[in-house]
C-alpha cells in the first residue's frame, strides 16, 4: 500500500526576502490567504511566521499571529497550524562590548518566544533545538531556554516540531526526549542548506535521519535549488516533506514561483510520481497523534 506523506508549507519565513520576490506575503491577510491557497494545493500543515506590515520584516507581535490564525480558521480551512518560535533567538555582538547585543539582536526571554503558542493553541509549533552561526548572526537556543519553552509548549497541549540544522542538534533533541522534556514520539524537521548548518545534500539527510531516536516522526527540506530534490529524497527515505516561499522563491531555474500553492503543487507531483499518497490534514492529525483542537482547548482551559 502507498504511504501517506505529509506536505507542509512554510509560507513566508522571517528573512528579508520581500525585496527579492514581490509575492512573499507580508500582512496577516496575505499570509492567511497563502495558507488557504497552500491547503487547496495539497498541503496538510502550514508553518507560519508573521511580519510587520509596515516594514515587511519579521515580527513577534502576538496580534499578527492571532489575526492570521483567526482568518485561516474562520475561513473553514482545515489545515494544521504550525506556529514558529524561532524569532527572538538572534544575537549580534556589539562592536564596543561583545557582552551586549548590537543592532540586529532580537534575543528574547524563552517564555516570551512561546507566548503566542500558549495563547493561540496551534496544532504544532516549531522548536529550534540548538545554537549555530546563522548567516552572519548567532542563533542562540541554549538547553536551559529550550527546556523552559518545551515545558510551556507541553502544558499548552501543542506538539513541538524539533527543527534540527546539524547533527549536534539531533543529539541534543534526543537527550531532551530521553529526559522527558519532549514527549514521545517526537517530531523532527531536518533543515538543510541554511548557512552555516549542514549542507542541502542527500548525504546530510541520510546521516541526520540515522541519528533520530527509534520511533521518531520526521520531515526534511532543503533550501533554494535543493528544495525539490530533497522532497524526493525525504519521500524515498520514509519521511515527510516541506516546501514554501520561506525556503525557496523559485519554481524553475530563474523563474519566481507565483505563490506558495505552486510550490506545494510541485511537491504533490513528486510525492505521487514516487508512488506515495498525499496526506490530508485529517490524515496528518492521525499520523502525528494529535488530539482534536476542541479537546486540547478544553484541556488547556481546565489546566488554567
Q: What is the CATH number of the domain that holds 96?
A: 3.20.20.70
For the chain, the domain total comes to: 1
* Confidence (pTM): 0.95
Residue 112 neighbours by CB under 8 Å, 6+ apart? 60, 88
> What is the pLDDT, as a whole number, of residue 1?
81
Q: CB count, 10 Å around CB of 232?
A: 16
CB 12 within 8 A of CB 31: yes
> Cell for 187?
517530531
Q: What is the pLDDT along the chain (304 residues), one digit of tens a residue?
A: 899 999 999 999 999 999 999 999 999 999 999 999 999 999 999 999 999 999 999 999 999 999 999 999 999 999 999 999 999 999 999 999 999 989 989 899 999 999 999 999 999 999 999 999 988 899 999 999 999 999 999 999 999 999 999 999 999 999 999 999 999 999 999 999 999 999 999 999 999 999 999 999 999 999 999 999 999 999 999 999 999 999 999 999 999 999 999 999 999 999 999 999 999 999 999 999 998 766 666 666 666 6
Condensed to tens digits (0 to 9), the pLDDT of residues 29-42 reads 999 999 999 999 99
Domain that holds residue 201: 4-303
Amino acid at each position: 500500500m502507498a504511504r501517506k506523506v505529509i506536505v507542509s508549507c512554510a509560507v513566508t519565513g522571517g528573512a528579508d526576502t520581500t525585496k527579492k520576490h514581490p509575492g512573499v506575503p507580508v500582512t496577516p491577510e496575505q499570509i492567511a490567504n497563502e495558507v488557504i491557497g497552500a491547503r487547496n494545493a495539497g498541503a496538510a500543515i502550514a508553518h507560519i511566521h508573521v511580519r510587520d506590515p509596515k516594514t515587511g520584516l519579521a515580527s513577534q507581535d502576538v496580534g499578527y499571529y492571532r489575526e492570521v490564525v483567526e482568518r485561516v480558521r474562520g475561513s473553514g480551512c482545515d489545515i494544521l497550524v504550525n506556529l514558529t518560535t524561532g524569532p527572538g533567538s538572534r544575537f549580534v555582538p556589539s562592536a564596543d562590548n561583545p557582552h551586549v547585543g548590537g543592532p540586529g539582536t532580537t534575543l528574547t526571554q524563552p517564555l516570551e518566544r512561546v507566548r503566542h503558542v500558549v495563547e493561540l493553541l496551534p496544532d504544532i509549533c516549531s522548536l529550534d533545538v540548538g545554537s549555530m552561526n546563522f548567516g552572519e548572526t548567532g542563533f542562540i537556543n541554549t538547553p536551559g531556554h529550550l527546556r523552559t519553552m518545551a515545558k510551556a509548549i507541553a502544558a499548552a497541549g501543542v506538539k513541538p516540531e524539533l527543527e534540527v540544522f546539524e547533527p549536534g542538534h539531533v543529539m541534543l533533541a534526543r537527550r531532551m526526549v530521553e529526559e522527558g522534556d519532549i514527549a514521545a514520539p517526537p517530531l523532527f524537521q531536518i533543515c538543510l542548506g541554511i548557512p552555516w548548518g549542514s549542507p542541502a545534500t542527500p548525504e546530510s539527510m541520510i546521516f541526520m535521519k540515522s541519528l533520530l531516536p527509534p520511533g521518531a516522526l520526521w520531515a526534511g527540506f532543503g533550501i533554494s535549488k535543493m528544495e525539490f530534490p530533497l522532497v524526493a529524497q525525504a519521500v524515498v527515505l520514509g519521511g515527510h516533506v516541506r516546501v514554501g516561499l520561506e525556503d525557496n522563491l523559485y519554481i524553475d531555474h530563474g523563474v519566481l514561483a507565483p505563490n506558495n500553492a505552486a510550490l506545494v503543487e510541485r511537491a504533490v507531483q513528486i510525492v505521487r510520481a514516487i508512488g506515495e499518497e498525499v496526506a490530508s490534514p485529517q490524515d496528518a492529525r492521525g499520523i502525528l497523534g494529535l488530539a482534536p483542537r476542541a479537546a486540547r482547548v478544553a484541556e488547556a482551559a481546565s489546566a488554567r
